[in-house]
Amino acid sequence: MGADEFVTFLGRNQNAGIDGINMSPKNTNAPSRVKGANGDTIISSGGSFEMGFFSPGISKNRYMGIWYKETLPVKTVVWVANRKTPLTDISGELKLVRNPEILVLANGSGNIIWSTSTSRPAQGPVLVAQLLDSGNLVVRDTLTNDGNFLWQSFDYPSDTLLPGMKIGKDFETGLERYLSSWKSNDDPSPGDFTYHCDPSGYPQLVMRKGSVEQYRTGPWNGVRFSGVPNLRPNAIFKYGLAFNDKEAYYSYDLLNGSVISRVMLSLNGVVQRWTRPIGRSQGWVIYLTTPIDNCDTYALCGAYGTCNIGDSPQCRCLNKFAPKYSDAWADTDWSNGCVRKTPLACYNNGSDGFLKYSNVKLPDTRNSTFNVSMSLDECQKACSNNCSCMAYANLDIRDGGSGCLLWFGDLVDIRDFPEGAGQDGVLEGGRQIAVKRLSKTSRQGPVEFKNELICIAKLQHRNLVKLLGCCIQGEEKMLIYEYMPNKSLDSFIFVIYSITRKKTNFLADEMRSMFLDWPKRFHIINGIARGLLYLHQDSRLRIIHRDLKASNILLDSNMDPKISDFGLARCFAESETGANTNRVVGTYGYMSPEYAVDGLFSVKSDLWCDGAGNS
């Protein structure tokens, strides 16, 4: 066939369930084609994905796309071909051709509005276009069945990353795969935000608005990204970063066949990891979102500054550093960062030392170098012997640590993770857990720690968080709970604003709060009420929580609520319903008036807290 000849990309009506078809010069007169006017679609062999023409939202424009083949009211679109060049009517036809293009999308006048190309010519006489059950649209010839496709949609993502896809850079071909947000719910053309695997220095995931960096995950440490402590190994996902001479990329796969998953870059620049049980009418559930708070804002505290979301102010300088401009710092403008109080003595043959920082998001690695074979001691020596080296760390934290990561230039975008915050972990059997580690200065001392341990250990209810174990060694105190993937209720119902100089940053994801529709809210309210009824009436002990608020209501994968944090709880005999105390504890704004003023608390106090926190 000559270069100007083509064979038509064939399809069937969506009820046919066909995933593709072999194409050769002999079958160009086949009875059906993927035409917008006919409503033709192609369905993957396992029935997971469907491809055809669609109009997003209220738009009348038409696009060729791929979406989940499911019964939900709104299509979950994962890939769009003609993002920048929509069809303006129901015309349109997707065709498979030979060289130089592979796939072309033509309008009603026959003009090509979108096309693909391949770096190598087809070898066989028969071309095959197929929608795989992974959601990948591929084109191959019959002589290459080993996955060496002529073209695949996975190489050109839209706003969604599916299991098996990559975002990153191929150093041999120069191909860069990245996510780009939609412009609006009605317009899938590229929006303001992009999400990349940046291979500069040592690879990390980076989100940009235009060319300006907004957020980064921190470098991969062999287990997770240092800036995303909640994204740990679990029984659902397997994810990781690969980096070699040929390519650098991030990808993930599903370990649990009972769920489907996608990662989406939202309109307002939030990376959302969604999951959905297979075979259930339940909609999509957010498993994880990033960025999560103001401390995830790129370089919020400037050079040599570190952010802690629990502190006020949130930014402080590293030890031996001071604000570069103290007046601006006092006015909550931390962007200029910090400077050393005393210059390094390295250039004067001095003896500079190092300070260790733990439980932090590692600095930006674009000005770094690494060596996979060096030990930590060798890494320290290498940094000590180079006056331009500002910090060092293990490249991989597994098995006691290995490899060497060296930073040169200013240390930027560091954050502290609170010691008392819940941290994720995985038991040897693969069960994911949440670990609550109490700092030495925590207001929850030995009495409250013991109280929480005793209270929860005696309680068993579907709407109470389950305590799996504890650890006490010296001043270290840890509680081990069942893992709650949807975090706390406050992250869904409260809108968080951060006010800086003459600027308000909207940090909450609107889609996250919109996800909590009234049926889900009613389900959560019922669950909290059942948990309280058990605490107040049905358990062996009558328990008053005293600190019931949205942040202490955790949500599991099914959005079932679990009451947590029993450090301030009080246990009573069955006949008692309240008490008086001179030590008023809890969270102001959630306390009942009689408790806040007179120290009187009862089962009614918890009902007040629940109404104040979740109304």
Largest CA distance in the chain: 91
Q: Which fold has domain 1-153?
A: Agglutinin, subunit A (2.90.10)
pLDDT at residue number 136: 96
Tokens in use for 353? 């030392």
Looking at domain 422-614, its CATH superfamily turns out to be Transferase(Phosphotransferase) domain 1 (1.10.510.10)
**pTM of model > 0.85:** no
| Helices and strands per DSSP (H, E), number in the chain | 8, 45
* 11: confidence class by pLDDT, cuts 50, 70, 90: very low
Amino acid at 532: L
Which of 296, 547, 606, 610 is an active site residue?
547
Alpha-carbon distance of 486 to 570, in angstroms, equals 28
Average of per-residue pLDDT across 206-225: 94
Amino acid at 208: R
Same fold, 1-153 and 422-614: no
Sequence-ordered list of residues with C-beta below 8 angstroms from that of 35, at least 6 positions apart, any chain: 92, 93
Alpha-carbon distance of 107 to 36, in angstroms, equals 9
Go through 69-87 and write b for each residue having 16 or more CB atoms within 10 A of its CB, e for each that does not: bbeeeebbbbbbbbbeebb
* 4: confidence class by pLDDT, cuts 50, 70, 90: very low
Alpha-carbon distance of 215 to 207, in angstroms, equals 5
Length of the chain: 615
4 is catalytic: no
Model confidence over 417-444: pLDDT tens digits? 865 445 566 554 446 678 877 655 555 5
Q: Which fold has domain 157-292?
A: Agglutinin, subunit A (2.90.10)
pLDDT at residue number 324: 94
Contact between residue 122 and residue 98 where contact means Cβ atoms under 8 Å apart: yes
Model confidence over 566-608: pLDDT tens digits? 777 777 655 554 444 444 444 544 555 555 445 555 656 666 5
Average of per-residue pLDDT across 439-455: 65
Model confidence over 496-545: pLDDT tens digits? 433 333 333 333 344 355 557 788 889 999 999 999 889 888 877 778 87
- 553 burial class (0-12, 13-18, 19+ CB within 10 angstroms)? buried
Domain ranges of the chain: 1-153, 157-292, 296-416, 422-614
